[in-house]
Structure 1
Amino acid sequence: MSKPTYVHEYQAITEVLNKYIEGCKQAKSSIMKSAFNEQATMFSVDGDGKLAGGAIAILFKGIDEGFRPSPDAPAAIVRIEIVGTAASARIDANDISGISFTDFFHLLKVDGQWTVVSKIFHIHVAS
């Protein structure tokens, strides 16, 4: 028998990441919450070059209070890398609620389910 591939795991991770994308597009954190571990974190660099972020609740509040629905905004899962029970992924999104950004996620397979444990991101400034 040949060594199994990560096709099934890749599909499971895309399902998790698509919850995040859809929550952003609909401006509803309730859609994305199940994608994140309750202990997950989110960080970025603010306009002053300082580290900003913390508990994932910051993301949920920002989505619910600061985003507006953008159902046609393009977003793509650019890559997923998987090794055993650990994975990383990148999502690029354009003009979701007027913002274009790149997200990097770290996921772990906990109790048989993929969950996001950390997110870092970069906001692309229009030139």
Structure 2
Amino acid sequence: MNKPSYVQDYQAIVEVLNKYSDGCKQANSSIMKPAFNEQATIFGVDGDGKLTGGPIQGLFDTIDRDFHPSPEAQGGIVKVDIVGIAASARIDTNDVSGFCFTDFFNLLKVEGKWTVVSKIYHTHVAP
């Protein structure tokens, strides 16, 4: 019995996620846009405990308007889980425009290419 091997898929997903990370670091949404499907969504919880988010364009607008280049930012892909054409991933990032995030991504392999279809996040409270 052959077990599935996702080495090539893993590498392709890492490339997609690196576009997101690079866009955050450089505060430039045009770098990260290719990582996301045009129908993708983003959601989080605001300081009042309320759900916030919607279409992924909200992330792009926030990156371009409120973030600044952060060459000191550090991040890492903590986990990638792949089954067939579906995957999930987690990235932890420190010092992106003064923020620390844990981001969770859902990806699908659409027409042979991995794309982020949803992102949820947690913003860590600064010490």
Q: TM-score range by the shorter chain?
A: over 0.9
- Alignment match, 1:12: 12
CA distance in 1, matches of 2:11, 2:71: 22
Please state how far the C-alpha of 1:126 moved relative to its aligned partner: 1.2
CA distance in 2, matches of 1:38, 1:126: 32
- Alignment match, 1:114: 114
CA distance in 1, matches of 2:49, 2:97: 23
- Alignment match, 1:67: 67
Report runs of 4+ in structure 1 exceeding 3 Å deviation.
1-4
Please state how far the C-alpha of 1:3 moved relative to its aligned partner: 3.4
- How big is each residue's C-alpha offset from its partner over 1:66-85, in whole Å with a ceiling of 9 and x where there is no partner? 00000221000000000000
Instruction: Letter of the 1:22 partner, please give it.
Output: D
Please state how far the C-alpha of 1:2 moved relative to its aligned partner: 4.0
Counterpart secondary structure, 1:5: coil
Instruction: Letter of the 1:15 partner, please give it.
Output: E
- Alignment match, 2:81: 81
- TM superposition score normalised by structure 1: 0.97
Counterpart secondary structure, 1:32: helix
Please state how far the C-alpha of 1:58 moved relative to its aligned partner: 0.2
Q: 2:72–2:95: 8 Å Cα contact kept in structure 1?
A: no
Counterpart secondary structure, 2:23: helix
- TM superposition score normalised by structure 2: 0.97
Paired residues, what number?
127
- Alignment match, 1:31: 31
CA distance in 2, matches of 1:47, 1:117: 25
Instruction: Letter of the 2:73 partner, please give it.
Output: A
- Alignment match, 2:94: 94
